[in-house]
Each structure stands twice: as C-alpha cells, then as structure tokens.
Amino acid sequence: MIVGLLNLAVIYPLFMDLWHSSWLLEQKNEVEPMFMSFFIPIGVSLLVAAWRPSEYRSMIALAAWLHICHGTVMAIQTVEAWTHGVHRNFIDVIVFLVVGGVLLALLPAKRKVVEPVHA
C-alpha cells in the first residue's frame, strides 16, 4: 500500500510540470512527464492489489520488476555521468532497487489450482 501511495504521489509533480510547461521551458525534457505518467497507474493498481494480494500477484510482480528495471537504468546512467565528470546522486537508484526487491520478497505465493476429482 505504501509503494502504491508513493507511486501515486507522482501525480502532483507531473501536474505541476504540465501546468507550468516546465518540461518544455526549463528542463527541455519532454520524456520526463511521459515517464512519470507510468507510475500513476502502477500506484493505483498496487493500492487495489493491497486488499487482495494473492489475486493481484502478477500486478505486484510487474510493479516490482518495473522498479528494478528503472533502478538498473538509473545505475547505468549514474556510472556514465561519473565517467564524464558529472556528479549524480546514487540514492534514488538504491531506493528503486530496494522497493523492487521488497515487493518481490513480499509477493504472495502462487495459489494452488485444485483439480476436480473424476469418479
């Protein structure tokens, strides 16, 4: 539920970026708002999944792997930045990787399919 709320909280900075066109005028980065928009439905889905985790196992796994993939890409970008003499903080990388790992660790077990007994 906490990860869902954190993902959903991206809606405020996304709204502000779009409202003030800062993605265009200040950051000159049209990719960021589109990228941020992916986290909003993930947040909503995780909030729904929090009520019945075993029924939404695949959604939780998707969110976990999304965070791990994002953290991995950011790790590569951080190393590349360092090799070019640009300082980039590594904390966000760790956060995304830990969140993904925790979601995978808390993933409910697969439900066993009970086959009907034939007489």
The model's pTM: 0.79
Domain span holding position 60: 52-111
Same domain assignment for residues 56 and 104: yes
How many structural domains comprise the chain?
A: 2
User: Would you write out the chain's pLDDT as a tens digit for each of its 119 residues?
Assistant: 999 999 999 999 888 888 888 877 887 777 788 888 889 999 999 999 999 999 999 999 999 999 999 999 999 999 999 999 999 889 999 999 999 999 999 999 887 767 777 76
Distance CA 114, CA 89 (A): 50
Same domain assignment for residues 71 and 105: yes
Same domain assignment for residues 62 and 18: no
- Residue 116 domain flag: no
